[in-house]
Structure 1
Amino acid sequence: MAVLKLSLFSNNFPDFFIIDHDGLVDIAKIETEEDRRNATFQWTGPSLVNLGGTGMLVRAVAPPGFCLRIATFENFRIHSKFFTGITDPQVKAEVIAESTYFIEPAEIDPNQVSFRSVKFPNRFIRHRNFELFAEPVVTPSDLQSACFRIAPPLHPEDF
């Protein structure tokens, strides 16, 4: 299976990309080469064309092994979590479960995507105050904040 590298920007803030800021994941403008690296992910699911599958969003550049995880201990805030080095199988399974999403057509704009949690199926990755959370989406504003556009990877080189 091919590696699917991508970057994701907010549908309603098109200059703001999903970016891992040292463990906390936000939407932000790309200002440095480091930002470009931290806004490049790999989708582990089978396809970005036929939406509906499940997968994880994993850092595509060094350091490898970090995924976007729902931090239930912090109000469902999205964190990046090093998961490949976890040796306890039960803990690793929990982290993977909290980091696996359905990729779906966004309700507010079906030409774009939303990421719905597999473990918490009523929660979607969305931005609020430029921070990412996994939350239910109901209002048009909620739906807009859970809508992302797939872009080519901002930092395409392999490490």
Structure 2
Amino acid sequence: MPKLSLFSNNFPDFFIVERSGDVDISKIETDEDRRNATFEWTGPALDFGESGRLVRATLPLGFCLRIDALEGFRVVGKFFTGIIDPDVAEEVREDSTFVLERAEIDPNQASFRSVRFPDRFLRHRDFHLFAEPVNTPGELQDACFRIVPPLSSEA
């Protein structure tokens, strides 16, 4: 599975980071930031049209980026490897699966469309990550990410 980091197309110094359940875009200043900004794509390939999940590739392992509909579609880091209840595990899988698509605002870059909520894309707003519909140029820009090699060599 490919390892990667994602930075904002309109804030190129800001990467998606997962810190103890909070998912935001942030500047990378420390080794811990680099670890928090390193993910693994679980899809069969890192190609447009493929579905997969973004999971932490560094310690603590077992966290995926999940849409929390009860929190206004905020994206959170959810520990998933220890879920015993099959119904809950399936819900987490559905809430954390995305289709990798060409970003409409810049087709050389990526957007992540929710499989469970197909009208919603990962986007940043006020430096927090949400799953929301995107229509205006600003929203489309906020849903555009550049895929780069993993920031942490520990992955």
Identity of aligned residues (%): 67
CA contact (8 A) 1:98 1:119 kept: yes
Q: How does 1:50-61 map to 2 (within 5 A)?
A: 50-61=47-58
Does structure 1 retain, via aligned residues, the 8 Å contact 2:35–2:154? no
- Which string of whole-angstrom CA distances, capped at 9 and with x for unpartnered residues, describes residues 30-86 of structure 1? 0111110000000001122x3101000000011111000001110000000000110
Q: Distance in 2 between matches of 1:154 and 1:45?
A: 20
Task: Provide the C-alpha distance between the structure 2 equivalents of 1:111 and 1:66, rounded to a whole number of angstroms.
Answer: 28
Structure 2 gap ranges (5+): none
Q: Distance in 2 between the 1:21 and 1:141 partners?
A: 26
Aligned to 1:5: 3
For residue 145 of structure 1, report the CA deviation from its aligned partner: 0.2
Alignment partners' CA distance in 2, 1:156 and 1:102: 26
Q: What RMSD in Å do the two structures reach over aligned CA positions? A: 0.7
List structure 1 segments (4+ residues) > 6 angstroms apart after TM superposition: none
Mapped to 2, the partners of 1:44 and 1:156 lie a distance apart of 18
Structure 1 stretches of 5 or more lacking a match? none
Residue in 2 that maps onto 1:33: 31
Distance in 2 (CA, whole Å) between partners of 1:152 and 1:64 is: 19
Q: Does 1:131 align with 2:105?
A: no
Q: TM-score if structure 1 supplies the norm length?
A: 0.96
TM-score by length of 2: 0.98
Decide which of 18, 21, 45 is 2:19's aligned counterpart.
Answer: 21
